[in-house]
Amino acid sequence: MALCVAVVSKENAPKYVASLNPEDELQIQYEIHSSIDFVEEKLKTGKKDMRELYLGLLYSTENHKVYGYVTNTKVKFFVVIDSSNLLLRDNEIRFMFRKLHTAYTDLMCNPFYIPGDYITSENFDKVARGILTGNS
Amino acid sequence: MSAEDVLFDMLHSEIVSYLVSKSAEDEDISILEHLGYSCGWRLIERITKELPRYKEELDILKFICTDFWSCVYKKQVDNLRTNHQGVYVLHDNEFRFFSKLSNGTQYLKSAPKYATFTCGLIRGALENFGISSIVTVEISRMPLCKFNIQVLPSSS
């Protein structure tokens, strides 16, 4: 169960944001924004063996933890979870990203989606909502 | 050659002949190229899903020559040459779209039309990796085909 799911394009423009409770959204978006810097830094200075798409924990505050994932084409996925949630393992977070990535590649195969547009696909939204509510 | 490959071949040759018969001489090429571009762009997103991250430009070009080419054309590029200054030449000794056309210089004049889609395919794939490029084709004798890739300096 996650608090927020976000997709950021290779030019660092937000492409999709979905969150569980809208009151926190501003704060979470701010945190995701900060995490983009961490991603850029990890990609640039990352060791040679930084071959995995999953980047792990990027940023944590009192309330939230931000996890990141970057595809080969520099599209960034973020998942924000509650810091008090200790049940969630690394593996499950990986699984969330895997699902998001699959949904994203499926979206790319849709000829009506123009690369670079904001994501309005219902299928993608369903997957993201599934990750948020945890019953995916 | 499996059934799905035949479908792709036939669809491709229909698209080429449709565009050539429909539009003016210059226009047809750019539409074909754009078709390939958007195809390559989307395809990359899908193929690289399970693959580790590529960092160097040469790694990406190697990926195009091996994995990408075998995904689309069921074979690898036969030869990759580079001057290490942003120019790459891909040699395909038996380019799929030519193999049915001719085994020499007959129909050489219409050959570029059948390679334009692939030029776009390469350009779109590289673009999604963040490499802007110009891809041209050089054909002296079918079914041999050379793709010249000129990498443009990145804006960032």
Model confidence at B155: pLDDT above 80: no
What are the boundaries of each domain within chain B?
3-151
pLDDT of B15 above 60 = yes
Instruction: Find the CB nearest B53 among A10, A51, A101.
Output: A51
Closest-CA residue to A115 (of B47, B11, B127, B134): B127
Number of A:B CB contacts under 8 A? 40
DSSP class per residue in chain A: --SEEEEE-TTS-EEEEEES-GGGHHHHHHHHHHHHHHHHHHHHH--TT---SEEEEEEE-SSEEEEEEE-TT--EEEEEEETT--S--HHHHHHHHHHHHHHHHHHHT-TTSPTTSPP--HHHHHHHHHHHHS--
Q: Which of A7, A73, A76, A98 best tests the B interface by mutation, with the highest count of B CBs <10 A?
A: A73
Give the total number of structural domains in chain A. Answer: 1
Query: Does residue A115 sit at the B interface (CB-CB below 8 Å)?
Result: yes
**Do A113 and A107 touch, CB atoms closer than 8 A?**
yes
Residue A75 is part of a domain; what is its CATH number? Answer: 3.30.450.70
Average pLDDT of the residues in B105-126: 90
Is there a contact between A102 and B49 if contact means CB atoms under 8 Å apart? yes
ipTM of this complex: 0.81
Q: Is A44 on the interface with B (CB under 8 A)?
A: no
Q: Chain-wide mean pLDDT for chain B?
A: 87
Least confident of A112-126, B10-24, B56-70: B10-24
Indicate yes or no: CB of B45 within 8 angstroms of CB of A73: yes
Would you call A102 an interface residue with chain B, using a CB distance cutoff of 8 Å?
Answer: yes
CATH homologous superfamily for B3-151? Trafficking protein particle complex subunit 3 (3.30.1380.20)
Whether pLDDT at B87 is above 70: yes
CB atoms B53 and A52 under 8 Å: yes
Does the beta carbon of A12 lie under 8 angstroms from any beta carbon of chain B?
Answer: no
Q: Are A122 and A9 in contact (CB under 8 A)?
A: no
Q: Which carries the bigger pLDDT value, residue B17 or residue A50?
A: B17
Distant-in-sequence, close-in-space partners of A106: CB < 8 Å, separation ≥ 6: A123, A124
Distance CA A5, CA B10 (A): 42
How far apart CA B91 and CA B145 sit, in angstroms, is 6
Residue A117 has pLDDT above 80, yes or no: yes
Range of the domain at A77: 4-133
Share of chain A above pLDDT 90, in %: 15
Give, as one character, the DSSP assignment of residue B110.
G
With 0.95 as the threshold, say if the pTM is over it.
no
B149, amino acid identity: I
> What's the whole-number average pLDDT of chain A?
85
pLDDT at res. A48: 58
Q: Please list every residue in chain A whose beta carbon sits closer than 8 Å to the beta carbon of residue B130.
A: 10, 73-74
Which among A10, A101, A109 has the least Cβ separation from residue B42? A109
